[in-house]
Chains A and B, each alone.
Chain A
């Protein structure tokens, strides 16, 4: 497969995943804004949402105040915001369009139709679009695309590159969400173990569509330890760092088997997996959750760079 084709598939995967993250955060922000705040009035978690996406400063610079209407526009429709649903789906579609030949008709159709619908939304008056509808639409659309990829793409190298893009992006997003939430909730490490703001933690779980799943998997109160275990080490939760790392390993193994040649990315991914498989929550808190997550994101990014150099850059072997 052409390196450039693989590169486009990989980034298509990353952008699809990223669109989903933005949509989930939109949903959480909108929901929390409906809840009364302890101090009177309503809660406003939008700053946390914007920080989680790493676009807080961009937003303030452009709009100044945290007004919901502007936030919706910014997170859903704003082409200047690289994490907006519009930006992500457009980028996914641009990448897909260039490599049409590597996609099945169904996959292309799902991606392209989503883009056409998005353009229709742009023509509708903003006041007639509810935030939850937009977020739901995105989740629905992403499921459709994922389903088309899963149900129709050949399990060839192209499929593996899409999968790698998705798994790497997802791991990064999970780590980032947890990290930011944790910072916002617990500005000082001395708070660990103290009574937690249930709503905030619930929001974190909802942002990974894992609220109900968490309830099934763990009993009793929501605590930092349980959340950390669930989001980092639970092998059943598809967004946990362990699951993401496992997916990266699987795709890399299949690629090296197909190409008859091991890759350096495999060794990085294997050592990441080995660590997560053995890790205990206690150790993670000993190291410091933030420190642990930062280290994870760095290694995840390192794996991404090696994948880029090995397969996507087209350097003569």
Chain B
């Protein structure tokens, strides 16, 4: 009877937990899919759509000169052939791995934290994470990277515990997708190598005391397959890199980038003032470290070391490499750290006790909810790029006697996406897109280009993105040299200015006076 009773209680518990998990995933799906096309297509998205609208061969050749890999755009290409290129359609391709990352992080959390309630906490954080939601609603490769990173860690741990060929094959297949999704996926593999060596050396994982060598051999076999699978691309890239360089012009990171990354992982994208004010509260995060101290059984399973390593070491590595060799630090590139970062946060919250847990947990979730709300509604989010309304304004107000100028030149991509206008569209500085490199901006060049653009036109409509290199310079040049008729802001950095291009000649003026 007792056994039967226990079984019923367990079944009920399972039912409750599974229901909660499903509800949280449904909530996450809703937050990712609701009004998916509400925001304008952003620059990066437009570039992906433009690249994916070409042939697979073009994509392969183009990506060979890019900092990214061809898999995502190739998938997008196929997707667009079936579902079209509307904002809703293309973004669903990101939302799907974004939603699938939720059950994946639940599985990984269960593996790491060995506790379903703690795993639900990690799932909840991920489900409402403004950062994850942002990228689930943007057609880029970042949610795919998140999904494969999460699954890669999951099957990595599965192999350590249970080295079946099925696990190894799945792990290898996932990693194969990962290495063709983003170069920074290699950091996930690096973390796994380091963690495996730590486990082997310290004996933290009891099973490895006896099976370390055989598990190691399986990982080596998987690595060989991955290397062989990546070699064709490496060879192709080495052979086909053309004269152009499409890598973004990144600056060397400062310590602020590290702090900002952790902030954005936690609270997503916020207006600059809000970000600065919240980061300024940092002494209170030190306090969390102290209030965490409580008598308890050892809360550190081996998985916590993996979570710590996976959450922070990629940030440190990329930061150091950026300082010493080549700037490559962008928060979104490090999204593969977020699954383990969220698991670490869940562990921290669940290991707190009593009132401290309620206070810290309450403040944490209130902070996330408010941030998500703000991320969705605030027009001051720096990463929001409202090209749609900017271009709609131009579409509605310009005529074929006007010229539409875009600056910097590569913002032509999002403008083209929405452009539906007889007016001539040109970039400033003028950019021949068959020549991959964008010309440098200087006064001489601007004078030459603006004179050429002005000719035969009544007004100049300038769509400028001020936080991108050249946008502010061009707007400032036109402000100083032309009569500005109108100026409109559509998002934090996207502005449309209208200038008078046609001026009456001196003779005409004299005649009219007479």
Do A and B make up one complex?
A: no
> Interface of B with A (CB < 8 Å)?
none
> Interface of A with B (CB < 8 Å)?
none
